[in-house]
Amino acid sequence: MHSRVAVVTGANGGVGLAIARRLLSQGAPGKDMKVVLACRNQSKAMAARAELLAEHPQATVDLVELDTSSVASVERAAAAIQSLCPAGIDLLFCNAGAMAIASLDVVSIVRGLLLHPVAFFESSEALRQKRGLVTADGLGEVFQTNVFGHYLLITRLQAIMSAGARIVWTGSAASRLDFKRSDYQHVWGGKAYESSKYIVDQIVEPLDKRLQPLGIRCVVAEPGNVCTNFLAGLGLPLFEYLVVAVFYFIRVVLGLARFTITADAGAVGPCYAALADNVDSRIKYHSHSTRAGQAYVEELPLESCKDTGSFLIARLDGLVKRFDSKKQQQS
């Protein structure tokens, strides 16, 4: 019997894999930790599992296929997790995330570098994002991937979450821009990623309030600027190396702590939010790093608006209901 069970979405690489690794190293001293990697790409997931088992041969690492941009996949994954974890779940990391990158935005790069270089490197201004992307379920693709897929997963798993369980969302600092209620799934705007992360910030506190009577807490953490596969969509490997070099320059020379750079450092905030004795859903748990690369957690107030949170929770509940009645009609 495992004394703690953690499910990590998007755990086949980057921050998600680093979260799983940290949990196995530090998760519950003296206790067994079982980790379920809930991933879209199964060959990458198998490689990630093999990597973790090579480092922790005694660990239990299970795989579940999950595409958060598909309601059917979330339903199948929730059922698979329930049968893999009969004793319940203690930690759920809503980490999978994507930005639909179209190209580099050269005009914004020049303007950003000239007018506000520090803020520029803390934002995603350099990237032009695709517009008009809708999934087979009829939802904004980035919204469904980053937000609704996880919201539905939580809805399906909350009955088997243990008293004292934690849900940790991986948020972003790039979450303040371009949210519009009239297009809350951000299908038509150019900042679907930021908008989705803004939604995460807004729903965490109301979700936490709703789940607290069940003994479940819900919080948001932020990995900092990490060099992961996130820019792979650009198809410019040389640019990715340049980004790594620029990030090191910014952290070492300018001393900007949010440039955590490695996935392992980026996982510090999410793991702290999952394992600390006390957490607060009005706080965002940021991974930061010293110039020398020592990672630590910075707790900063979450910028949220009650009214927007209630608006979004109502929309998300409405979507869950819509897909529930579709399922009933089909059965």
Ligand X SMILES: NC(=O)c1ccc[n+]([C@@H]2O[C@H](COP(=O)([O-])OP(=O)(O)OC[C@H]3O[C@@H](n4cnc5c(N)ncnc54)[C@H](OP(=O)(O)O)[C@@H]3O)[C@@H](O)[C@H]2O)c1
| Interface with ligand X, residue 41, by CB under 6 A | yes
Tokens of 172: 């972003």
The answer to whether residue 135 forms part of the interface with ligand X (CB under 6 A) is no
Q: Which residue, 13 or 112, has its beta carbon nearer to ligand X?
A: 13
Name the residue nearer to ligand X (CB basis): 201 or 205.
201
For residue 80, CA distances in Å to 77, 84, 235 come to: 5, 6, 34
**Smallest separation (angstroms) from ligand X to the CB of 328:** 25
251 lines the binding site for ligand X (CB under 6 A): no
Contacts of 177 (CB under 8 A, 6+ apart): 123, 191, 194, 195, 198
* Smallest distance from ligand X to CB 260, Å: 8
- Shortest gap between Cβ of 229 and ligand X (angstroms)? 4
Which of residues 68 and 202 has its CB atom nearest to ligand X in the complex?
68
Q: Locate tokens 């930021």: which residue?
A: 194
Beta strands in the chain (DSSP E): 4-9, 33-39, 60-65, 89-94, 101-104, 127-129, 161-170, 217-222, 283-289, 295-301
Sheet strand arrangement including 4-9: 60-65, 33-39, 4-9, 89-94, 161-170, 217-222, 283-289, 295-301
* Binding footprint of ligand X, residue count (CB under 6 A): 27
Q: Which of 228, 281, 287, 304 contacts ligand X by CB under 6 A?
A: 228
- Helix residue ranges, H only, 85-131: 106-115, 117-121
Q: Phi first, then psi: what are they for 182, rounded to 5°?
A: -70, -20
**Smallest separation (angstroms) from ligand X to the CB of 282:** 20
Instruction: Tell the residue number behind the tokens 């006390």, with chain if given.
Output: 278
Tokens for 136?
A: 């087979």
The answer to the question of residue 44 lying near ligand X (CB under 6 A) is: yes
Site string for ligand X, 58-77 (x = CB under 6 A): --------xxxx--------
Rule CB under 6 A: say whether 42 interacts with ligand X: no
C-alpha 242 chain-centroid distance = 25
Beta pairing partners, 218: 167
User: Would you count residue 289 as binding ligand X (CB under 6 A)?
Assistant: no
Q: How far is the CB of 92 from ligand X (least distance, A)?
A: 14
- Choose between 2 and 189: whose C-beta lies nearer to ligand X: 189
CB of 216 to ligand X, least distance (A): 20
Q: Per-residue x/- marks for ligand X, 72-101, CB under 6 A? A: -----------------------xxxx---
Per-residue x/- track, 139-178, ligand X (CB under 6 A): ------x------------------------x-x------
d(CA 69, CA 231): 19
CB 315 within 8 A of CB 298: no
CB-nearer residue toward ligand X: 13 or 309 = 13
Q: One-letter amino acid identity for 97?
A: G
Q: Does 223 bind ligand X (CB under 6 A)?
A: yes
Based on the number of CB atoms within 10 Å of its own CB, is 201 exposed (0-12), middle (13-18) or buried (19 or more)?
buried
Q: Is 13 in the site for ligand X (CB under 6 A)?
A: yes
Q: Is 287 in the site for ligand X (CB under 6 A)?
A: no
Q: Kindly tell me which of 28 and 248 has the beta carbon lying closer to ligand X.
A: 248
**Closest distance between ligand X and the C-beta of residue 40, in Å?**
4
Question: Rule CB under 6 A: which residues touch ligand X?
Answer: 10, 12-16, 39-41, 44, 66-69, 95-98, 145, 170, 172, 223, 225-226, 228-230
